[in-house]
Amino acid sequence: MNQILKHVDKNINRLIKDLQILIRQPSVSAKNQGIEECAKLVSNTLKKSGIPSEILRLKKGVAPIVFGHVRSKKNPNKTLLFYNHYDVQPVEPLELWEDDPFSGKIRGNKIFGRGSADDKGELITRIKAVESFLKITGDVPCNIKFVIEGEEEIGSTNIEAYLKRFRKKFSCDGVIWEFGYVDSKNRPIIGLGMKGLLYVELSIKESIRDAHSSLAVIIKNPAWRLVDALKTLQDSSGKILIKDWYREVTPFSKSDLKLLGKEPFDENSFKKEYGIKGFVNDKRGLEIKKALAGDPTCNIAGLVSGYTLDGAKTVLPSSALVKIDFRLVPNMDPKKQLARLQKHLKQNGFSDVKIKMYHGEAAARTNPSDPFVAQIKEAARESFGDFVVNVSNAGTGPMHSFVNVLGAPCVSIGSTYMFSRIHSPNEFARIDLLRKTTKCICLIMDKFSKHD
C-alpha cells in the first residue's frame, strides 16, 4: 500500500491535467450540450488508465452510460462499484464567473470550472486510485466497476431503467457514491443516505393574454390564486399541511440519534457563508441536524407571473406558475405523495391548478452497522486523520434505485469541500483534497477486498 500511495503523490500533476481535460469538455445535460462528446472522453480516460470501458445505451435521446470493469486476478469473487456522473449544471449566470466556466484554471490550491468538484473531480479520484493499483501491482484487490451516467443533474430519470437492463453487468457487493463532502475542518463526511424528491410544477391560466392592470377589478389574477393555493401547502413553521403527508415517516433510531449528536455543525460559519441571520423556527444544535437528515420539505424553487424586469409595467398576468421540490425521507413513496398533493388541492377548492410532475425519487439509507461502513471509516481515518459520519445527506440522488435493484449498500465519501460553490459560479476543487481522497479510495479498495 505504501508504494501505491506514493504513486498517487508522484502523479498528482497527471491527475490535475486529466481533470482539466474533463472540465474543458462542456457536458450540460439540461441543454444537451456536449453529452456525447464527454461520454467518449470519459471512456477514453478510463482506457488510458488501464480500465476496459464501453458506452452503454438505453434508447435514442437518452444520455449514454460509461461502464468500466477491471476483473481482479487475486479476488474475483468480490466487487466494488463506483457510481459517478459526467454531466454538469448550466453555467449561468455567466457574468459572475471570474474565468471561462470550462477553463480548468488553477489558482493556488484550487482548480476552477464547472464540474471541477461536481462530479468530474470526484470521478478522477476514483479513476486514479484504480490506475495506481494497476501501475504498481498489475492487478486490483477486488473487481472494480464504474457506472458513470450523463443525466444526474436533470434527475437521473433513466438510471433505474439502466440498472434493471444491465443488472447482471452492474452486480456488486458495495457502492461508493458519486460525491462526498469535506467539512471546514478538513474532515470527510461519510454519508449513509440521501433524501428522496418529488419535483412538481403548479400552474394556473386565467385569460388568453395579459391585460391592463386596471381590469383587476373584473378579471381574476392567477398569481393571487396561486398564492392562495400555496398557502394551504405549508404553515409558517415549515410544517406541510397536506393530509397524511407524514404518515409513513418513522422516527430516528437510537443509533441514528447517537450519530446525529456526534455530527458537527458550525452554526456561525454556516450563517456567514450564506449571509443569513438565523434558521427556520430558530432551530439550534441537534434540531438543525435532525432537520437536515430527516425532515421532509416543501420548497418553492421558482415562482413566475407577469412582469419581472426592470422598471414598472401595469399588467394583469394571464397565467402564473410555480415549481416546487418536496424532499422525502425513507418510506415516503413519491407517487403516493403526488396523489396526496392532487387530492389536497382538489379538496381545498383548487381543481383549476394544473399539476405537472417532473421527477420522483425515493429516499435511501445504509445501516451504520454494515461492515462496509466500518471499512470506509478505517480508510478515512488513515487518509484524513479524522472523519464525520452523516446519517443522511439533505440532498437527493438515485441511491434508492441502486439499493433496490442491485441490493448493495451505498456510502458516499469524496473530495468536495463543503463551500466549493457547486452549482454556482466559480465552482472549484481543492487539489489537496483530491490527493487525500484518491489515497482514501485506494485504502477503501484494499480494506473492502479483505472482508467477507
In SS3 terms, the chain reads as: CHHHHHHHHHCHHHHHHHHHHHHCCCCEHHHCECHHHHHHHHHHHHHHCCCCEEEECCCCCCCCEEEEEECCCCCCCCEEEEEEECCECCCCCHHHCCCCCCCCCEECCEEECCCCCCCHHHHHHHHHHHHHHHHHHCCCCCEEEEEEECCHHHCCCCHHHHHHHCHHHHCCCEEECCCCEECCCCCEEEECEEEEEEEEEEEEECCCCCEEHHHHHCCCCHHHHHHHHHHCCECCCCCECCCCCCCCCCCCCHHHHHHHHHCCCCHHHHHHHHCCCCCHHHCCCHHHHHHHHHCCEEEEEEEEECCCCCCCCCEECCEEEEEEEEEECCCCCHHHHHHHHHHHHHHCCCCCCEEEEEEEECCEECCCCCHHHHHHHHHHHHHHCCCEEECCEEEECCHHHHHHHHCCCEEECCCEECCCCCCCCCCEEEHHHHHHHHHHHHHHHHHHHCCC
Sheet holding 143-149, edge to edge: 53-56, 65-70, 143-149, 79-85, 174-176, 410-411
Q: Which residues contact 146 (CB under 8 A, 6 or more apart)?
A: 46, 51, 53, 66, 67, 68, 69, 81, 82, 84, 126, 127
Question: What pLDDT sits at residue 155?
Answer: 85
The per-residue pLDDT for range 152-202, each reduced to its tens digit, is 999 898 999 999 999 999 999 999 999 999 998 999 999 999 999 999 999
pLDDT number for residue 184 = 87
Q: What is the reported pLDDT for 190?
A: 97
Strands 193-205 and 319-328: antiparallel
Question: Grid coordinates standing for 349?
Answer: 377548492
Distance CA 65, CA 79 (A): 19
**Domains defined for the chain, CATH in brackets:** 2-192+366-449 (3.40.630.10), 195-249+296-361 (3.30.70.360)
Sign (positive/negative) of CA torsion 440, 445, 447, 452? positive
Mean pLDDT along residues 75-104: 97
Distance CA 264, CA 289 (A): 9
Distance CA 158, CA 85 (A): 13
Confidence class of residue 380 from pLDDT cuts 50, 70 and 90? Answer: very high
pLDDT in tens, 8-66: 999 999 999 999 999 999 999 999 999 999 999 999 999 999 999 999 999 999 999 99
The 10s digit of each residue's pLDDT in 390-429 is 999 998 989 999 999 999 999 999 999 999 999 999 999 9
**pLDDT tens-digit map of 197-234:** 999 999 999 999 999 999 999 999 999 999 999 999 99
Q: How confident is the model at residue 451 (pLDDT cuts 50, 70, 90)?
A: confident
Chain mean pLDDT for the chain: 96
Contacts of 74 (CB under 8 A, 6+ apart): 139, 140, 141, 142, 449
pLDDT at 271 over 90: yes
Cell 457502492 locates to: 175
